[in-house]
Structure 1
Amino acid sequence: MDVRGCTVTIPAGEVDLPADLLVPPEPAGVVLFAHGSGSSRHSPRNVAVAHALNAGGLGTVLVDLLTAPEDEVDAVTAELRFDIGLLAGRLAAIVDWLANERPGGTASIGLFGASTGAAAALVAAAQRPDLVRAVVSRGGRPDLAGAALGQVRAPTLLLVGGLDEQVIALNQEALSQLRAPADLRVISGATHLFEEPGTLEQVAEAARSWFQDHLPVPVNASRPR
């Protein structure tokens, strides 16, 4: 599939954030990624999932949620990576930008969050209920979204490694608080980072199917499988 890629700068409040935008022809939707603590838009796991989504006819946006100076501070203090309010606010601003810019002509937006980024994605989904149509969490900490869990309207898929027992428990508790259609799937034999052979591929396939099923199809656009 012919996927067009470019690096753009997206305004998010008082900062501008670099993002890698990949859009196939007539995308069925666009998925904004929220990386986990200490990571960036170059996360090899998120990049791999993004490519799988692109192959399934979905556009993707991989963005750095911290500026370069903030990232330098965070590398020492680790304080900003857990500032869910800050990260969610920036995600919401990027959602607004996507809704206005409509890359590839689609306004159907999904969020994919990893680790602490999953909490930020869920809070952003609660803040933009009319724009965010689906959420997927990979090895996420949805519990950190707090009261926002009950305000999420987008169908939400929680993916957790079968060997990541503590995170399974946290996701089970979060699932009980979600009022939107939601599902928890455990990937057998996977640890927190899904480094075991074949496990990340299962994450990518599950995410692709979830977004294909829950993002509205634009008029005159087909939905590849």
Structure 2
Amino acid sequence: MDEQRSTVTVPVGDARLTADVTLPAQPVGVVLFAHGSGSSRHSPRNVAVARTLNDSGLGTVLADLLTPAEDEIDARTAELRFDIGLLASRLVGIVDWLGVERPAGDVPIGLFGASTGAAAALVAAASRADRVRAVVSRGGRPDLAGNALTQVRAPTLLLVGGSDEEVLTLNERAVAELGPVGEVRVVAGATHLFEESGTLEQVAAEAATWFVTHLRR
């Protein structure tokens, strides 16, 4: 499949964020990734999921939500990775950039969040309900999105490992807050990082189907 790859700098407030953009020739939609605790746009799990989305006709944007200086602080303190407000504001800024610069054209936007990034994705989806049309969470912490859960309008799929019991309980509580737009699916035998054979591939396939279904015009 012909696709275009580029690394771009996205201005968000005072920050300049680096993002890897991959676009099929005629994308169905574009999915912005929100990485999890202590991770980056190079997260091998998110890169693997993004490849499956690309193969399904979806554009992807893998962005660093922290600047290099912030990364250094976070490496010492681990505090910024849990700053959901900051991470969500960065996602909102990139969503707005996608709407203005339109590297993928005027296609619907989806958000894929992992771990704490899932909470940021849900806050961003609530803030940009007119632009964000679908959300997928992988082993996410949607509970950290707080009151934003009741304001999410986009169809939201929460994928959780069957052996990730504490996070599964948090997701089941969160889906009650999401109401009819939310759905929990359990990946049998998977732990929090989906390291077990075939489990990440299942996540990628489920995510691709969800986004294609809900982003296709």
Q: Same fold (TM over 0.5)?
A: yes
Q: In percent, how many aligned pairs have the same letter?
A: 70
Supply the distance in 2 between the matched residues of 1:105 and 1:130 (Cα, whole angstroms).
Answer: 16
Alpha-carbon shift at residue 106 of structure 1 (Å): 3.2
Alpha-carbon shift at residue 3 of structure 1 (Å): 1.6
Supply the distance in 2 between the matched residues of 1:77 and 1:104 (Cα, whole angstroms).
Answer: 36
TM-score, normalised to structure 1's length? 0.95
Q: Which residue in the other structure is 2:205 paired with?
A: 205
SS in 1 for 2:186: strand
Alpha-carbon shift at residue 107 of structure 1 (Å): 2.8
Aligned residues: 217
Q: Which residue in the other structure is 1:77 paired with?
A: 77
**Equivalences for residues 186-205 of structure 1 within 5 A:** 186-205=186-205
Q: Which residue in the other structure is 1:222 paired with?
A: none
**One-letter identity of the residue aligned with 1:19:** A
**One-letter identity of the residue aligned with 1:34:** A
Moved over 2 A (4+): none
TM-score, normalised to structure 2's length? 0.98
Is contact 1:32–1:60 with CA below 8 Å preserved after alignment?
yes
Is contact 1:27–1:106 with CA below 8 Å preserved after alignment?
no
Supply the distance in 2 between the matched residues of 1:89 and 1:179 (Cα, whole angstroms).
Answer: 24
Supply the distance in 1 between the matched residues of 2:53 and 2:216 (Cα, whole angstroms).
Answer: 15
SS in 2 for 1:143: helix
Alpha-carbon shift at residue 166 of structure 1 (Å): 0.3
Cα deviation digits, residues 77-132 of structure 1 (max 9, x gap)? 01100000000001001000011122232331000000000000000000001000
Q: Which residue in the other structure is 1:221 paired with?
A: none
Q: Which residue in the other structure is 1:25 paired with?
A: 25
**One-letter identity of the residue aligned with 2:54:** N
Cα deviation digits, residues 154-179 of structure 1 (max 9, x gap)? 00000000100000000000000003
**One-letter identity of the residue aligned with 1:169:** T
Q: Which residue in the other structure is 2:147 paired with?
A: 147
Q: Which runs of 5+ in 1 are unaligned?
A: 218-225
Is contact 1:162–1:188 with CA below 8 Å preserved after alignment?
yes
Superposition RMSD on alpha carbons, in Å?
0.8
Supply the distance in 2 between the matched residues of 1:2 and 1:180 (Cα, whole angstroms).
Answer: 37
**Equivalences for residues 57-96 of structure 1 within 5 A:** 57-96=57-96
Q: Which residue in the other structure is 2:54 paired with?
A: 54
Q: Which residue in the other structure is 1:176 paired with?
A: 176
Supply the distance in 2 between the matched residues of 1:98 and 1:216 (Cα, whole angstroms).
Answer: 17
Supply the distance in 2 between the matched residues of 1:179 and 1:130 (Cα, whole angstroms).
Answer: 18
SS in 2 for 1:104: coil
Q: Which residue in the other structure is 2:44 paired with?
A: 44
Q: Which residue in the other structure is 1:220 paired with?
A: none
Q: Which residue in the other structure is 2:10 paired with?
A: 10
